[in-house]
Amino acid sequence: GNSVTQMEGPVTLSEEAFLTINCTYTATGYPSLFWYVQYPGEGLQLLLKATKADDKGSNKGFEATYRKETTSFHLEKGSVQVSDSAVYFCALTPAGGTSYGKLTFGQGTILTVHP
Amino acid sequence: DAGITQSPRHKVTETGTPVTLRCHQTENHRYMYWYRQDPGHGLRLIHYSYGVKDTDKGEVSDGYSVSRSKTEDFLLTLESATSSQTSVYFCAISDQGNEKLFFGSGTQLSVL
């Protein structure tokens, strides 16, 4: 079946540091890939997405590139802020048109950014 | 923000009692989902709905049932709650059933 594996957390950084959160997946064909973010006490929000190989999703200074050859979708940001402290989830939906939006999530990575 | 309301926000119950969680949306989206969030597991799909009275099982559906009698409401029922069902439950909605899900703020359920 489909699965998503994220790097172990938590991740603690100083403000303006470079961020990488690794994500790899197992799925047949070409799934759509997503990063969701969960701020404290809130539900998840879509951060960015990519729907085909070599696509780069970007939003709010975050980027991730769909790498089919390494089955990866790593999240990066060049300079993190305290307000980026949250839990980040990598997720996928299967290839094809009948997924009904059902997401398979990774386990989540807690990011804490200190001033 | 998408209009999604989950109720209750917090609940403590005893093993063996029935529990119903409600998700109400004002967006008229066709698709609705129930997920549970547990440490080390991320979010896992319990049940989903692709229309009124149309529902199907997700990855972790054992011990749960759902009903959707109208577009705006999606109910999740634990027929006889167990301690393993202690979790945070999230409702989500989607218009096209493809990519972008909007999530509610969650229900913290504790089964003692």
Tell whether the model's pLDDT for residue B48 goes beyond 90: yes
Q: For residues B107 and A7, which has the higher predicted lDDT (pLDDT)?
A: B107
Contacts of B90 in chain A (CB under 8 A): 43-44
Distance from CA of A79 to the nearest CA of B (A): 26
Mean pLDDT in residue range B6-29: 96
Q: Are B74 and B46 in contact (CB under 8 A)?
A: no
Contact B45 A102 (CB under 8 A): yes
Cβ–Cβ under 8 Å, residues A32 and B99? yes
Successive 10-residue mean pLDDT values, chain A, 115 residues: 88 97 93 93 91 94 96 97 96 78 90 96
Say if B90 is an interface residue toward chain A (CB within 8 Å). yes
Nearest CA in chain B to A39: B105
pLDDT band for position B2 (50/70/90)?
low
Q: What region does B106 belong to: left with phi over 0, alpha with psi -120 to 50, or beta? A: left
Using one digit for the tens of pLDDT, what is the confidence trace for B56-83?
999 999 999 999 999 999 999 999 999 9
- Set of chain B residues whose Cβ sits within 8 Å of the Cβ of A87: none
- pLDDT of res. A98: 64
pLDDT of residue A101: 75
Distance CA A20, CA A2 (A): 23
